[in-house]
Amino acid sequence: MDAGNQTGVSELLLLGLSEDPELQPLLFRMFLSMYLVTVLGNLLIILAVTSDAHLHTPMYFFLFHLSFSDICFNSTVVPKMLVNIQTQSKIISYEGCITQMCFFLVFVYLDHFLLTVMAYDRFVAICHPLHYTVIMNPHLCALLALISWVLSVLVSLLHSLMILHLSFCTHTKIPHFFCEFAQVLKSACSDTLSNYIVLYSVTGLLGVIPLTGIFFSYAKIISAILKMSSAEGKYKAFSTCGSHLTVISLFYGTGLGVYLSSAFSPSSSKGAVASVMCTVVIPMLNPFIYSLRNRDMKGALRRLVSRSFFSL
């Protein structure tokens, strides 16, 4: 078949992390283990938040959505990669690639918005503790979660619909283990200028504004903590923000690594490693980060496990 520009291309090739056949069983076991830990850990967080009345607060309401998002985020990428490794196939259908990319973008943006909302929640809790229950009322929390979901879906649909107008060459190879948006754009055979304009415009608008909100929130939080006279109060305030701040650092640090490696490095392996951190490792670490340093969460998980054990 002619290798020219084909708008009706039916499948693409995902080159994966390595073409070494000896590494495939190791990669399969490693990513399967990480996927199971991610799903189990985040599912335990969801069950603990929904079943324990002590966790029916705004902070854990948003953590519930973040854990659900991380399960979906991980599930858009890892199962297909495991199937390709197991079957020794690199093929993904064109429709499957667009669908994977669309859902991946939804949950990337959702994590981004939820982390911003959670920063605002911590800001209100520490800087305005007396008005916390009034400001962060159930209606506002539900509205913030709904806005995060709607914006994520709309932006993802915008990118995906614009991708549908591009044409791809037959036997298009994507040097990645999933249909990552930037790599799909690079693989197109038609002009992608309008896609990049929309990408950078959306990134500037929906990236800079929330990030500014996060920096502002934590600047106010740190200022308020330093003004506290009690060492115990400072420790308690830092402990309530520590988990969230750790997740923010990991999420945006690896996100920046993916962007820089994709934009400036000719080596696709560096971008793939950064993407593994962003798409697989961080969703796996989030449950540990939020549970190991959180007394309420550890107590809720113990009660959940004990109830499950005695019900057997």
Per domain, the residue ranges of the chain are 10-310
Average pLDDT of 137-164?
94
Spatial CB neighbours of 300, under 8 Å, sequence gap ≥ 6? 48, 49, 51, 52, 54, 55
Does position 257 have pLDDT exceeding 70, yes or no?
A: no
Average pLDDT of 290-304?
77
Task: Report how far residue 126's alpha carbon sits from residue 122's, in angstroms, rounded to the nearest whole number.
Answer: 6
pLDDT of residue 15: 81
219-251 pLDDT per residue, tens? 999 888 888 877 777 777 777 788 888 888 888
Does position 4 have pLDDT exceeding 80, yes or no?
A: no
Res. 123 pLDDT band, cuts 50 70 90: very high
pLDDT of residue 308: 66
Task: Report how far residue 220's alpha carbon sits from residue 75's, in angstroms, rounded to the nearest whole number.
Answer: 36
Average pLDDT of 177-204?
85
pLDDT of residue 3: 42
Does position 142 have pLDDT exceeding 90, yes or no?
A: yes
Question: Quick one: DSSP state of residue 6?
Answer: E
* Percentage of residues in the chain having pLDDT higher than 70: 88
Going 133 to 137 to 142 to 145, the CA torsion angle's sign is negative
Does position 139 have pLDDT exceeding 50, yes or no?
A: yes
Does position 192 have pLDDT exceeding 60, yes or no?
A: yes
- Per CATH, domain 10-310 is 3.30.540.10: no
pTM: 0.87
Task: Report how far residue 63's alpha carbon sits from residue 122's, in angstroms, rounded to the nearest whole number.
Answer: 12
pLDDT of residue 154: 94
**Least confident piece of the model among 47-56, 216-225, 255-264, 269-278:** 255-264
Residue by residue, DSSP assigns 26-67 as HHHHHHHHHHHHHHHHHHHHHHHHHH-GGG-SHHHHHHHHHH
* Percentage of residues in the chain having pLDDT higher than 90: 33
Average pLDDT of 148-175?
88
Spatial CB neighbours of 97, under 8 Å, sequence gap ≥ 6? 12, 174, 179, 184
| Neighbouring-strand partners of residue 12 | 92
Instruction: Show the tokens assigned to 48.
Output: 């603990």
Does position 271 have pLDDT exceeding 80, yes or no?
A: no
pLDDT of residue 186: 84
pLDDT of residue 46: 93
CB distance 47 to 69 below 8 Å: no
Spatial CB neighbours of 124, under 8 Å, sequence gap ≥ 6? 131, 132, 135, 136
73-118 pLDDT per residue, tens? 999 999 999 998 888 888 888 889 999 999 999 999 999 999 999 9
Going 243 to 249 to 252 to 253, the CA torsion angle's sign is negative
**Least confident piece of the model among 35-39, 118-122, 233-237:** 233-237
Instruction: Show the tokens assigned to 35.
Output: 């996927």
